[in-house]
Amino acid sequence: MLILVSLVAMKKKSNTSLSIRDWDRQDRPRERLLQHGKHTLTNAELLGILISTGSKNESAVTLAKKILVHCENDPAALATMSIGQLTAFKGVGIAKATTILTALELGRRAEQSLPIAPSYVTSSKEGSDLMRPYLSHLKHEEFWVVFLNNSNKVLFCLQVSKGGLTGTLVDIRLILSKALELLAVAVILAHNHPSGGLRPSVADKAITEKLCKAAATLDIKVLDHLIVTEKDYFSFADANLI
């Protein structure tokens, strides 16, 4: 009798999906966002955070996947859904539907307010316009590199490192190997100062000099190093520091 009860309990448990709280902490969307950044999350995980809670038989992320499948995995199509279409999914009420649509509308307005990123970079301002969406709102330092061809066309933007409030480590080998892979002839360095200050630090000047010397051995030119904040920027090239 005891064995039968145990088997029934196991069967019930197997038919019930695990909630996000049952997942390993490093797999939970909110924890991963906090530790590794929003860019590491899938569309379903981002939507799952907005949904917050699932139903008895499925997690918020599973519910999010169902909604995205309905939209052919296109976030733009999701933004066109109505409250009624969203609440047709079991587990999505008025509150969750309005949260989803509000977040999507806010994201759309934020995107519209950003400057159009140039496909060519011919000045420090164009470089700062390109990097501002990546760097301006961060609470920690990140170091990025823009790779260019001989016409100053942007080939690729790479996040090289992510640090704390006051600094980040930079792997020169990673930058140069990516430049060779892309056949880039020039690079622009960029990082942010969470404090909002634009004055380059001793470390900023040192890594710039080191990168310039290393890149020169491969005939790759460092055109500029930009310190980007929400509303302004500092250019090493404009200040004759390169």
The reported pLDDT for the residue numbered 60 is 85
Specify burial of residue 84 (Cβ count, 10 A radius: 0-12, 13-18, 19+).
exposed
Averaged over 179-184, what is the pLDDT? Answer: 94
- Identify the band that residue 56 occupies on the pLDDT scale cut at 50, 70 and 90: confident
The answer, yes or no, to whether residue 52 has pLDDT greater than 50, is yes
Averaged over 54-63, what is the pLDDT? Answer: 81
The reported pLDDT for the residue numbered 113 is 57
Rounded to whole angstroms, the Cα distance separating 32 from 240 reads 41
Rounded to whole angstroms, the Cα distance separating 124 from 112 reads 22
Rounded to whole angstroms, the Cα distance separating 61 from 221 reads 45
Burial 126-160 (b: 16+ CB within 10 A, else e): bbbbbbbebbbebeebbbbbbbbeeebebbeebeb
The answer, yes or no, to whether residue 108 has pLDDT greater than 80, is no
Please name the fold of domain 124-235: Cytidine Deaminase; domain 2 (3.40.140)
The answer, yes or no, to whether residue 203 has pLDDT greater than 80, is yes
More confident residue, 134 or 11: 134
The reported pLDDT for the residue numbered 6 is 45
Give the range among 80-89, 140-149, 151-160, 166-175 with minimum mean pLDDT: 166-175
The answer to whether 186 and 152 are in contact (CB under 8 A) is yes
Averaged over 208-215, what is the pLDDT? Answer: 95
The answer to whether 87 and 97 are in contact (CB under 8 A) is yes
- Identify the band that residue 162 occupies on the pLDDT scale cut at 50, 70 and 90: confident
Q: Where in the chain is the domain with CATH 3.40.140.10?
A: 124-235
Evaluate if pTM is beyond 0.85: no
Number of H helices, E strands in the chain: 10, 5
The chain-wide mean pLDDT, for the chain, equals 82
Rounded to whole angstroms, the Cα distance separating 216 from 81 reads 53
